[in-house]
Amino acid sequence: MKTLRVELGERSYPIHIGAGLLGRADLIAPHIRGKQVMVVSNETVAPLYLEPVLAALGGFRTESVILPDGEVYKNLEILNRIFDALLEARFNRRCTLVALGGGVVGDITGFAAACYQRGVDFIQIPTTLLAQVDSSVGGKTGVNHPLGKNMIGAFHQPNCVIADTDTLNTLDDRQLAAGIAEVIKYGLIRDAGFFDWLEQHMAELTARKPAALAEAIERSCRNKAEVVAEDEREAGSRALLNLGHTFGHAIETATGYGRWLHGEAVAVGMLLAARLSARLGWLEQAEVERIARLLEAAALPTRPPADLDSDRFLELMAVDKKVLDGGLRLVLLRGIGHAVVTDDFDPAALRAVLDEAAGGD
Ligand code: NAD
Ligand code: GLY
């Protein structure tokens, strides 16, 4: 097992990464202050992993709430089910919530913990690669609103993150690849050495070799923990974690949530950001090709949907929440391992990149 720390003063917390951690009472119990624990999971993950987690919580008064599975349920109505369960069980301010599942369960549970009785403790047990390398770390919690994704939320840090790499064995290949997109993101934005490592080890990752997965998760979490420690509330550098996301959100919205997974849309978005960076003279063409090859090796898409023309693409990008005061700001690359947030680009270059990419998928 490897343990990293997110350094946030008195709100610092450990991230444990390794095989066979779900049932480890010694990892979870020290982070529970009271006696009451509510485990939140969903109908897919609970049958697989709830039992060992409940067993590890043997010394506490434990309840569970099982949510329906899907991004479409990350909303205020389903959030209320968690509050109902907490109130029905008469849980007090010293209770702890445990999120057992992917990013959807993690985000909604974290938000419930941020709100219940003005804030209670919570623990993340992420079970998708995406959740292990990204969403469980950093304290962004929330739910979707019909008018926008992740629009209702709070910053609320967990007390501990336990990433059991064994849980990835039951994840399907598409979900695994979607998580790998976020792993590649860390290499692109701030860790060129990690990008090199990924080029050498991608086949082991897609084959789910435990050592390679553990290394990738650890290096991803190390990068995320550093970014969060530097800029917890996204006043500046944390925005770099959104590389590819403005393009990606446009793809997700255009195709209706579900046809493309978030990580798949981000993969295409990162490549479009790289192409725009190359057009601006900031990135070598050879580097763009390296990025495309790595995404392909991860079985990720590299072209946007065929039916998304550049007019619609630009329109959807303009409603992304990273548009500040009317100007479109993007995360672009000054090299592999060096991302910048900027509005200093020629809109014609962006349109040209989208025109060139149109007609894929
Ligand atoms: P998800 O939570 O929907 O999980 C994907 C699917 O895998 C679901 O059907 C889930 O039930 C299933 N699943 C989970 N673990 C499994 C396992 N071990 N075996 C088999 N099936 C399993 O999706 P996700 O990709 O984990 O997370 C996406 C969500 O995360 C989005 O809502 C996104 O907004 C959010 N997110 C949040 C942050 C953040 O910083 N808070 C960052 C990135 C993404
Ligand atoms: N996933 C983006 C962030 O945590 O800031």
Catalytic residue among 190, 262, 279, 329: 262
Listing DSSP states for 309-337 in one string gives: -HHHHHHHHHTSTT-BTTB--EEEEEETT
Q: What is the pLDDT of residue 253?
A: 86
- Using CA atoms, how far apart are residues 191 and 131, in angstroms rounded to an integer? 20
What would the mean pLDDT of 302-310 be, rounded to a whole number? 93
- Using CA atoms, how far apart are residues 171 and 164, in angstroms rounded to an integer? 13
Q: What is the pLDDT of residue 320?
A: 62
CA of 163 to the centre of ligand 1 (A): 13
CA of 303 to the centre of ligand 2 (A): 24
Q: At what angle do helices 347-357 and 310-318 cross, to 10 degrees?
A: 130
Neighbours of 226 (CB within 10 A): 17
What would the mean pLDDT of 220-224 be, rounded to a whole number? 98
Cβ neighbours for 348, distance < 8 A, ≥ 6 positions apart: none
pLDDT digits (tens, 9 = 90+) for 69-96: 999 999 999 999 999 999 999 999 999 9
- Using CA atoms, how far apart are residues 26 and 75, in angstroms rounded to an integer? 33
Question: Which residue reads 């292990």 in tokens?
Answer: 132
Cβ neighbours for 277, distance < 8 A, ≥ 6 positions apart: 283, 288, 332, 333, 334
Ligand 1 and 139: CB distance under 6 A = no
Cβ pair 46, 67 in contact under 8 A:
no
pLDDT digits (tens, 9 = 90+) for 51-62: 999 999 999 999
Neighbours of 38 (CB within 10 A): 24
242 alpha carbon, closest ligand: 2
Q: How far is CA 103 from the centre of its chain?
A: 6
Burial class (CB in 10 A: 0-12, 13-18, 19+), 342: middle
Catalytic residue among 63, 226, 234, 296: 234
Neighbours of 211 (CB within 10 A): 10
- pLDDT band at 307, cuts 50/70/90? confident
Distances in whole angstroms, Cα of residue 225 to Cα of each of 4, 114, 133, 165? 8, 20, 10, 18
Whether the pLDDT of residue 323 is over 60: the answer is: no
Residue 262 annotated in active site: yes
Residue 208 annotated in active site: no
pLDDT digits (tens, 9 = 90+) for 131-172: 999 999 999 999 998 877 888 999 999 999 999 999 999 999
pLDDT digits (tens, 9 = 90+) for 92-134: 999 999 999 999 999 999 999 999 999 999 999 999 999 999 9
Query: What are the residues facing 148 on neighbouring strands?
Result: 145
- Using CA atoms, how far apart are residues 165 and 212, in angstroms rounded to an integer? 11
| Domains of the chain: residue spans and CATH | 2-170 (3.40.50.1970), 178-357 (1.20.1090.10)
Going by C-alpha positions, the residue among 338, 337, 339, 340 that lies closest to residue 195 is: 337
CA dihedral 44, 70, 249, 263 (to 10 degrees): 10
- Using CA atoms, how far apart are residues 289 and 187, in angstroms rounded to an integer? 15
- Using CA atoms, how far apart are residues 13 and 157, in angstroms rounded to an integer? 8
What would the mean pLDDT of 171-194 be, rounded to a whole number? 98
Residue having the nearest C-alpha atom to atom 3 of ligand 2: 241
